[in-house]
Amino acid sequence: MASRTLVTVFLIVAGLASGCDTLNWQQYRISGIHANSTDADRLKSVVMSVASRQTLKDATQTSHVPGTLIFVTEPDVQHFHTDIGVRLHGDDALVDVMAGFGPRVKKFERVRDALGPALTAEFGARCIAIAPQERVPVQ
The confidence score (pLDDT) of residue 6 equals 44
pTM of the model: 0.82
Residue 87: which of 125, 53, 137 has the closest Cα? 137
Dist. CA 29–CA 25, nearest whole Å: 13
Which residue spans within the chain are E strands per DSSP? 22-31, 57-58, 68-73, 83-89, 92-102, 127-130
The confidence score (pLDDT) of residue 21 equals 61
What is the residue-level pLDDT of the chain in tens, covering all 139 positions? Answer: 454 444 444 434 444 444 556 789 999 999 999 999 999 999 999 999 999 999 999 999 999 999 999 999 999 887 788 999 999 999 999 999 999 888 888 999 999 999 999 999 999 999 999 998 899 988 7
The confidence score (pLDDT) of residue 12 equals 42
DSSP 125-139: GGEEEEPGGGPPPP-
The confidence score (pLDDT) of residue 20 equals 54
The confidence score (pLDDT) of residue 105 equals 86
Measured torsion, CA atoms of residues 95, 97, 98, 103, in degrees rounded to the nearest 10: -150
Q: Residues 6 or more apart from 101 whose CB is under 8 A from it?
A: 21, 22, 23, 24
The confidence score (pLDDT) of residue 77 equals 81
Going from N- to C-terminal start, the domains of the chain cover 21-134
Query: What CATH number was assigned to the domain covering residues 21-134?
Result: 3.30.160.110
